[in-house]
Amino acid sequence: MTPPEASLDTRGNTPPAVLSYPPVTVLRQRADFLRAARALRRGTDGMLVQARNRDDGDPTIRVGYTCSKKIGNAVARNRAKRRLRAVVAEVLLPGAKPGWDYVLIGRPDVTIDRDFNALKGDLSYALRKLHASS
């Protein structure tokens, strides 16, 4: 199947440019999580957000997720991480800065049960506060 072609505007010009954000990757190495733990942090009702500026010249935004056994069994931890990933997909890019690492840590009994819009508000609040202090 071929992708649809971009439609032209009424004057025959190419379509307007789409807002471009730097690429987002997922943190996987323990050392990256430990470096983020020593950097800035902001707690909210639904999660704890840690952030650090890598200062390596790479504009990629990296995000990590963690939920301890305090959250519950594996099913509960996976559900909490899925909710955190969904919040990041909707909120992170407008508020994140290129070249930063972010780690979202789930809170027991809150990350799973909290209203999704409230979680989105928690993340946007944390990002504003983290970048205001940096």
The predicted model gives 103-119 an average pLDDT of 95
Instruction: Look at the block and give the residue holding tokens 């995000």.
Output: 63
| pLDDT tens digits along 54-100 | 999 999 999 999 999 999 999 999 999 999 999 999 999 888 999 99
**113 DSSP assignment:** T
Within its chain, how far is the Cα of 121 from the centroid? 13
Q: Give me the DSSP letters along 18-35.
A: PP----EEE---HHHHHH
User: What type of residue is 40?
Assistant: L
Confidence of residue 126 (pLDDT cuts 50, 70, 90): very high
CATH of domain 24-133: 3.30.230.10
* Residue 106: φ, ψ to 5°: -75, 150
Instruction: Identify whether the C-beta of residue 126 lies closer than 8 Å to the C-beta of residue 97.
Output: no
Q: What is the pLDDT of residue 90?
A: 93
| pLDDT tens digits along 3-58 | 566 555 556 665 555 556 788 899 999 999 999 999 999 999 999 999 999 999 99
Instruction: Identify whether the C-beta of residue 61 lies closer than 8 Å to the C-beta of residue 86.
Output: no
The predicted model gives 116-127 an average pLDDT of 96
Instruction: Identify whether the C-beta of residue 106 lies closer than 8 Å to the C-beta of residue 79.
Output: no
